[in-house]
Structure 1
Amino acid sequence: LKLKPDHEHSLLQVADVLAMQRLYADARAHLNTLIELRNARGDKRGALQAKVRIGSLDPEDYEARLSAVAARIEMGDKGGALGDLKDIASELAEKGRTAEAVEALRQAATLNPDDEEIREKLYDVYFGAADYARARECATSLGQLRMIAASQEAAGDAEGALDTLKHAAAAHADEAELRVELARKLIARGDVAAAAEYLTAETAGDDPELLLIVADMKLRGDQADDGLAILRRLLEQDPGRREQIALLGWTVAEKHSEAGFKAVELAADNAVAQNDWPSAAAALQEFVTRVPNYIPALMRLVEICVDGGLEATMYSAQAQLADAYIAAGSATEARFISEDLVAREPWEAANIERFRKALVLTGESPFTSTDFTSGASLFDDIPPPAPAAPAQDEERGMEVHVAGVDEDEPPAKTPPPRRPSRLKEDTQFTLSANAIDLDSILGGFEDFDDAPPAPRARASAASEDVEVDLSIVLDDIKPGGAPPQPAASKAPPSAPADLDGVFGNLRDQAARRSGSEEAEKEYRRGLALRAAGDIDGCLQALEKASRAPKLRFATSSLIARIYRERGMLPESLEWLERASQAPAPTNDEAHQLLYELADGLEQVGEVARALAICLELQADAGSYKDVGERIDRLTKVQAGS
């Protein structure tokens, strides 16, 4: 080189030796001299090759390596440039120099946009840097897009996650599961119109789960009738889906009450068609719990309770319906139902308050809810004064009374006069023609036990002077001079049948009904749990409710049928026998219960008991179902044994 400094071959050899000794700066100087020489004589390609040689000297000199890539591109060696860029990007990414790695990969993508490896590397770099928007652009598979969406959602970017899933659905149109997932997310956000773009009845095919989602979207949108048609088709194919449909209706009703009610009504009607009245009522009960004061649902619930003999549920539904009419300002309907409630349970303050509100709606003068339970009666008149007795009768009665004060059977003291009616006060309203006749209401309580008669007063004194209570004596004086009867044969006067006494008895009975009310709550809860599919919870609630005599038949028979559906025949028979010991609401229900009990006993081999029940059923119901054939068969079996 000293003799010939411009000798190119020598420059290359010296540069290689220096590079092996890691004297990169000296090697680079010799190669730069070579580049100048070649450029001077017009050897452009040779100069570019020297630049490539400089880029290969030091692996850590990324600037020189990128210059070498540019030289390769200028020479037309895109393949070599692409390989160098991939290597450079990988090394930079490993060192955490993300921006430089991305720039290298972008250059590579410019050279070959269809290179999947470059997109993969770009995806890895962007995803590692949490740049999810750019990572989504570089994602090449559905799995990568799902990972991006999951990461965005975990980071709190729900909107970005939804956009990623939309991008994935557009790139993978044949992925039905993805479209269903996206539709569900859009429904949850309330964007039914957007959800309908990704899932239709046609794409759902015959898949019941997908059809339920389609029906959900249509019920929440402006195509509720189409949604109901899908639900009807599902019920026709499988009546067991009514619980799913009821659940769908409940959730839809939270924002679209009318559409939700129609779905729940479909499920309830299906249960009625199968004579499963409790399930039908439970579906509607849950609906009115979520959508209070919805009059169409309450009316349908009352109808089902009446037709199915669900008395306890019917009373509750009527009370809710009365409240709904009052809230809606429907005066006539509110008064009609509230009057019926007061007539049935006049001791309930809530019923009286409903009636008061209904009167206000109709424009009549209201009263307070305590008027029916106060000390004075609203319907009592002032008692007329007692006629005066002749003087001789008074004297004679006094003698008889004083003579008989020491007898074993003392005369009863006359009860105090009834307080004057409050109807004479200016603050009361005038009764209308439709007012409640409390005399007819109280007539049903005549069989209450009378209070024990109070002991008759005895005349006594601490000294020789005897004071006689003339009110006691005068009470026993008979008008018209009739001789008094002996005290022992005289029946004590009964207490006046005023509202104070009657309501006192009713309050005592109401206190005893607290357990019954708790049982009714458990019964309703059990029906709701059964409708929701929680059978174990349903059984526990029904068993608690069965402790109330009023509900024993309904709960025990329902528990027995649930156990039978589960194939647990011994438990079913046990509860059928419990139900048979309780009074049935109707003869038809009693006959059906005996029929099921006989059938179960026959299945477990208790022929004699089954035959006895069939004979009892035939005597009571005549030719009920196939009881006659069963009796013949059981008789032959018993005779053969």
Structure 2
Amino acid sequence: MAAGNLFRRAKNKPLDRDDAMRKAEKSLRQGRLDEALALYKQVVEQFPEDWTAANALGDLYVRSNSIPEAAEQYTRIADHFLKDGFLPKAVALYKKILRIRPDDETSRLRLGEIAADQGLLVDAKAHLTAVRDQRFQRGDQRGAMEVVIKLGSIDPTDMEARLAGTRALAEMGERDKAVERMTELADEFTETGQGTEALAALREAARFDPESTNVRGALARAVLASGDVAAAGEYLTREVAGDDPALLAMFLELQLKAGHADVAAQLAASSDERPRVLEVGRRAGAADAAAGFVCFEAVADLLLGAEDWDGAAAALQEFGDVAPHFAPALLRLVEVCVDGGLDERLYEAQARLAEAYLHEGRAFEASVISEDLAVREPNVGSHIDRLRRALVMMGESAPDRVIAKRLSEAMAAVGSDQPSSTIETHDAPVVPAAPASPP
């Protein structure tokens, strides 16, 4: 019976499946492959979910060298088994397709996904890598990148594949997702002690989205953790620092080193930021008194603006503990104490300033302050000692006689009855001390 007649009969009446299958089998045994194909095709067309018939039809297509048609039938059956959860049957059919059509990407992708779901990572990577390479070879860059992304998602321990997948996301324009994944990778590298890799991942994330303050902040923290303070300045802005104490402090220190004293004043303007400004001043002042003083002076100026003389003096006095020989800070402290009428703080401030002058070798200024203090507090021995050291530094061979004479004259001028005999005198010459080197 001709194949055309079979098709015409199928249109005239419903197909008897069992009869058609028997006839197809008979045709095969008689070597009439075309008739068998036509009969199986009719069965599958009228009974599309007859998977046995569909599989047999696929086999007949293979025998007739109609490979695309065979692959179509096998794929349809395999997809059905995959959807219903019959994974072994689905895998067998996808592999069957690859035997007749080794470059079938759909089958390889399905096998890769099934293997990944089953934890068979070696098999999954092999199938997906084959598809990736096929697509690269034919110039399908986007398609290849899609597979690279899949490869980067199946094995959490394969950091190289995950990095490659994240880069592929960025190349395909999904920058937000790429930044998120790269940041996650950086966190994982950090947790496992791979600081260099974490830093590299964050730098890539910053290239994906240069405007992201979160990424720049994370990058700045990572750079600081690595000890590369200079590199942190490339990413650290006021906005990036946000409310992070460590970043704010580093931002301020970097600005101070760059000579931007106004930044300290801007940060100090917020009462919430003043403790951080002072903390930076303490750290900076230990190595660079001038830089540290910028912070303390900024806070003091704001307190003075609010007429808080005592608070301003306290801040400046604290810096005196950080940099005890930094004369500009002590001069400002004396000025604030005088203007604010803070007599109790004033004498100590003057004494500190005199010591700073002695440390710098500025004996004359030290002697003027020390003499003033000695007149005001003649019973405080440290004032006399400081004046003595200043006079010796100036080359005076009999400093105590000079002190006694000056104090007597000064006391007489102010009407004091303090006896000058309280000042010990030494007739022996005193060898002048060499001035101390400036810090």
1:82 maps to: 109
For 1:78, the aligned partner's letter is E
1:273 maps to: 305
- 1:122 partnered with 2:131: no
- 1:219 partnered with 2:251: no
Work out the CA distance in 2 between the residues paired with 1:69 and 1:324. Answer: 90
- 1:171 partnered with 2:208: yes
1:282 maps to: 314
- 1:136 partnered with 2:167: no
For 1:322, the aligned partner's letter is A
Work out the CA distance in 2 between the residues paired with 1:432 and 1:260. Answer: 41
Structure whose residues are more often helix by fraction: 2
The structural deviation recorded for 1:250 is 4.0
- 1:320 partnered with 2:356: no
1:329 maps to: 361
1:299 maps to: 331
**Secondary structure of residue in 2 paired with 1:333:** helix
Maintained 8 Å contact 1:200/1:214 = no
The structural deviation recorded for 1:90 is 3.9
The structural deviation recorded for 1:213 is 7.4
1:308 maps to: 340
Judging changes above 3 Å, is the alpha-carbon distance between structure 1 residues 430 and 320 closer, same or farther for their aligned structure 2 residues? closer
Q: TM-score, normalised by structure 2?
A: 0.57
User: What's the CA shift string for 1:515-562, capped at 9, x where partnerless?
Assistant: xxxxxxxxxxxxxxxxxxxxxxxxxxxxxxxxxxxxxxxxxxxxxxxx
Judging changes above 3 Å, is the alpha-carbon distance between structure 1 residues 172 and 362 closer, same or farther for their aligned structure 2 residues? same
For 2:366, the aligned partner's letter is A
Rg bigger for which structure? 1
Judging changes above 3 Å, is the alpha-carbon distance between structure 1 residues 43 and 119 closer, same or farther for their aligned structure 2 residues? same
Work out the CA distance in 2 between the residues paired with 1:338 and 1:70. Answer: 99
Task: In structure 2, list runs of 5 or more residues that go unmatched.
Answer: 1-30, 34-61, 79-86, 136-142, 170-176, 425-439
Work out the CA distance in 1 between the residues paired with 2:187 and 2:228. Answer: 20
Work out the CA distance in 2 between the residues paired with 1:262 and 1:120. Answer: 54
The structural deviation recorded for 1:300 is 0.9
The structural deviation recorded for 1:353 is 4.4
For 2:203, the aligned partner's letter is K
Task: In structure 1, list runs of 5 or more residues that go unmatched.
Answer: 1-6, 10-37, 366-428, 448-495, 502-641
Maintained 8 Å contact 2:265/2:299 = no
- 1:260 partnered with 2:297: no
Work out the CA distance in 1 between the residues paired with 2:231 and 2:275. Answer: 27
Work out the CA distance in 2 between the residues paired with 1:258 and 1:179. Answer: 30
Work out the CA distance in 2 between the residues paired with 1:69 and 1:257. Answer: 78
Judging changes above 3 Å, is the alpha-carbon distance between structure 1 residues 204 and 152 closer, same or farther for their aligned structure 2 residues? closer
The structural deviation recorded for 1:438 is 5.1
Identity %: 30
Judging changes above 3 Å, is the alpha-carbon distance between structure 1 residues 173 and 341 closer, same or farther for their aligned structure 2 residues? same
For 1:321, the aligned partner's letter is L
Work out the CA distance in 1 between the residues paired with 2:345 and 2:64. Answer: 104
The structural deviation recorded for 1:109 is 4.1
For 2:220, the aligned partner's letter is A
**Secondary structure of residue in 1 paired with 2:324:** coil
> Which residue of the other structure, out of 168, 190, 197, is the alignment partner of 2:234?
197
Alignment of 1:411-430 (within 5 A): 429=398
The structural deviation recorded for 1:209 is 8.7
Work out the CA distance in 2 between the residues paired with 1:285 and 1:359. Answer: 27
Judging changes above 3 Å, is the alpha-carbon distance between structure 1 residues 439 and 330 closer, same or farther for their aligned structure 2 residues? closer
- 1:162 partnered with 2:199: yes
Maintained 8 Å contact 2:217/2:236 = yes
The structural deviation recorded for 1:341 is 3.9
Work out the CA distance in 2 between the residues paired with 1:134 and 1:307. Answer: 69
- Paired residues, number: 332
Maintained 8 Å contact 1:306/1:314 = yes
Q: TM-score, normalised by structure 1?
A: 0.41
Alignment of 1:424-439 (within 5 A): 429=398, 431=400, 433=402, 437=406, 439=408
For 1:219, the aligned partner's letter is Q
Maintained 8 Å contact 1:343/1:436 = no
User: What's the CA shift string for 1:224-257, capped at 9, x where partnerless?
Assistant: 23x51x4556677x68865654455445445543
The structural deviation recorded for 1:277 is 0.7
For 2:145, the aligned partner's letter is D
2:144 maps to: 113
2:187 maps to: 150
Judging changes above 3 Å, is the alpha-carbon distance between structure 1 residues 45 and 268 closer, same or farther for their aligned structure 2 residues? same
2:18 maps to: none
**Secondary structure of residue in 2 paired with 1:81:** helix
Maintained 8 Å contact 2:388/2:399 = no
1:599 maps to: none
The structural deviation recorded for 1:500 is 10
Work out the CA distance in 1 between the residues paired with 2:288 and 2:101. Answer: 64
For 1:320, the aligned partner's letter is R
The structural deviation recorded for 1:269 is 1.6
Work out the CA distance in 1 between the residues paired with 2:101 and 2:352. Answer: 83
User: What's the CA shift string for 1:481-526, capped at 9, x where partnerless?
Assistant: xxxxxxxxxxxxxxx996499xxxxxxxxxxxxxxxxxxxxxxxxx
Judging changes above 3 Å, is the alpha-carbon distance between structure 1 residues 498 and 100 closer, same or farther for their aligned structure 2 residues? farther
The structural deviation recorded for 1:260 is 3.3
For 2:152, the aligned partner's letter is L
For 1:324, the aligned partner's letter is A
State the superposition RMSD in angstroms. 5.0
2:217 maps to: 180
For 1:87, the aligned partner's letter is I
